[in-house]
Structure 1
Amino acid sequence: MTGVIALTRLEVLRALRNRRVMFFTILYPTVLFLLSASATKSTQHVDGTGISYRTYYLIAYASFGALGAALTTNAQKIAIERKEGWIRQLRLTALPGNGYVISKIASATLATVPAIVIVFAVGGAMGVQLSAAKWLTAFLVLWIGSLAFTALGIAIGYGVPQDSVQMVNILIYVGGSFLGGQFFPLSGALENVGKALPTYWVRELSTDVVSGAHLPANGLLILLAWLVGAGVLAARMYRRGVDAG
């Protein structure tokens, strides 16, 4: 257990010191929020939601950063470590067989925290007013909802060739965010497509929490299905990677 904790601490420090990851998961979403929020009046509301555009963008870009942190924290590192034989080296230590994966999950999960908190802090400074309960619940929805992308990042790291990992990450991250409504409110055909994706429901459920709307059961089930599916895929890719190594 001590070895798992030590490795987890190392992984978290590596993630927080990765400037590229920090840029795309903290600075970039924060700047996008500032630009979008500044272009709208605090009295402008999104049709059919009962919340202001600033509040919408607060949730949307916090989810954008959190999902990016969950997905990208591990995928590239695992692919590199797999190629360099780091996983084979860990087998020679006293670290439990699942300790490596546990440390990766923990580091990605913790890396999502600043991605959410900093956008929330900037939003509060710009006048977004929520009760303490809504701030906390929205944070928990985004944080827990990002777990599906944590598992997906592990699956990509083990299942995709190193040279292709970055491209796959970008396609999933940007494409999923575009169809999930992280950049602008969706309607029509785009919204119908988005409703099948976890990016949509992470943002939508958090928005519903803030607006006080009823949480749709189908959204919760779709997000849960993605979480379970990504977890199963990650476990399968992990076993395949270990067997190959």
Structure 2
Amino acid sequence: MDAIDRSTPVRFSASRAYMQEARYEFLRLWRTPSFSLPCLLFPAVFYLLFGVLLGGRGGPDAARYMLAGYSVFGIMGVALFGFGVTVAMDREQGLLTLKRAQPMPPGAYLAAKVAMAMLFSTVILALLAALAIGVAGVRLAPAQWLGLVVACLLGVLPFSALGLWLGTLVGGRGAPALINLVYLPMAFLSGLWVPLSMLPGLLQELAPAWPAYHLSRIAQAQVGFGDGAPLGLHVLVLLGVTLLFLALARRRLATP
């Protein structure tokens, strides 16, 4: 048997490490039906029921308006649960400690989760687009479709940061309940399920306190329902939310 040449250095590829971590994270959640099925199907089912069937009196315009809201609703769920629940479980089981001891790039863990959230979000947006075009008769220009997709995919980031922070507050069993307490009220109070004009005046005034409100405004502008206000303010708010919760999560994760 030939002797192994141990003098040959083993080459470490950071890009390969990132790709492998992202692949395994996606497969981990894709093979978890309790995560993948609700995240992928709920936005499409809710849009079909409330945006198309019950909102059918408004015609394609109503379906187009609700398309923006349920697109934001879908990517929110993936980001919050994909980060919050898995981070809580990984902390509880000691997996984060194990990963820190491995020779992997420090950012690969979080980058993999962001990639996972964007991949799942892409599938959700494709399902919603198929329903909007095939069932509701929604017609958008290619630039509008592109704008909606880009806005939603970038919108994954602030909710990923929020989910990451929530995942540091509780254990794996308590994470789904905590995230639902944030996710569902925020979706309703931000006007994702019904137009804000249908909510009481006080709730309309408080809506800008929610990150989902600002992303929904950006998404609505892409499908032709902009209010004429500059979108830069909404972008700045979402950027601030991202940085704030990343800092809070980092502080929590640094605590033994």
Tell whether the structures are fold-level matches, with TM greater than 0.5: yes
Quote the residue 2:5 is aligned against: none
The range that moved more, 137-146 or 174-183, is: 137-146
CA offsets, 1:16-57, max 9 Å, x none? 333222233221111111112122336x27xxxxx7111112
Correspondence 1:201 to 2:214: yes
Secondary structure of residue in 2 paired with 1:109: helix
Q: Distance in 1 between matches of 2:106 and 2:56?
A: 53
Residue type of the alignment partner of 1:160:
V
Name which of 178, 190, 204 aligns with 1:191.
204
Correspondence 1:55 to 2:55: no
How many pairs are equivalent? 237
CA offsets, 1:57-110, max 9 Å, x none? 222112111111111112111111111111121123210223222222222232
Name which of 39, 61, 67 aligns with 2:76.
67
TM-score (norm 1): 0.87
Correspondence 1:143 to 2:156: no
Q: What percent identity do the matched residue pairs reach?
A: 27
The range that moved more, 10-19 or 119-128, is: 10-19
Shift in Å, 1:11: 0.7
Q: CA RMSD in A?
A: 2.1
CA offsets, 1:131-185, max 9 Å, x none? 1111111111122123110111111112334343112210111011001111101
Residue type of the alignment partner of 1:3:
A
Q: Distance in 1 between matches of 2:249 and 2:225?
A: 39
The range that moved more, 145-154 or 105-114, is: 105-114
Matched-pair contact (CA < 8 Å) for 2:215–2:234:
no
Residue type of the alignment partner of 2:31:
R
CA offsets, 1:200-231, max 9 Å, x none? 121222112211636523x5424433433333
Secondary structure of residue in 2 paired with 1:211: coil
Structure 2 residue runs of 5 or longer lacking an equivalent are 1-13
* Structure 1 consecutive aligned stretches of length 4 or more whose deviation exceeds 4 Å: none
Q: Distance in 1 between matches of 2:147 and 2:234?
A: 19
1:20-39 to structure 2, matched below 5 A, reads: 20-36=34-50, 37-39=52-54
From the superposition, tell whether residues 212 and 75 of structure 1 become closer, same or farther in structure 2 (CA, over 3 Å).
closer
Q: Distance in 2 between matches of 1:221 and 1:21?
A: 33
Q: Distance in 1 between matches of 2:233 and 2:178?
A: 26
Quote the residue 1:19 is aligned against: 33
Residue type of the alignment partner of 2:92:
K
1:96-111 to structure 2, matched below 5 A, reads: 96-111=105-120
Q: Distance in 1 between matches of 2:234 and 2:224?
A: 21
The range that moved more, 113-122 or 231-240, is: 231-240
Name which of 162, 165, 177 aligns with 1:155.
165
Q: Distance in 2 between matches of 1:183 and 1:240?
A: 33
The range that moved more, 33-42 or 180-189, is: 33-42
From the superposition, tell whether residues 226 and 41 of structure 1 become closer, same or farther in structure 2 (CA, over 3 Å).
closer
Shift in Å, 1:242: 4.1
Correspondence 1:166 to 2:176: yes
The range that moved more, 76-85 or 107-116, is: 107-116
Quote the residue 2:236 is aligned against: 224
Shift in Å, 1:243: 4.0
Matched-pair contact (CA < 8 Å) for 1:69–1:115:
no
Residue type of the alignment partner of 2:54:
A
The range that moved more, 127-136 or 227-236, is: 227-236
Quote the residue 1:48 is aligned against: none
Q: Distance in 2 between matches of 1:8 and 1:120?
A: 26
Secondary structure of residue in 2 paired with 1:195: helix
Matched-pair contact (CA < 8 Å) for 1:54–1:128:
yes
From the superposition, tell whether residues 243 and 23 of structure 1 become closer, same or farther in structure 2 (CA, over 3 Å).
same
Name which of 24, 40, 49 aligns with 2:55.
40
Q: Distance in 1 between matches of 2:217 and 2:244?
A: 24
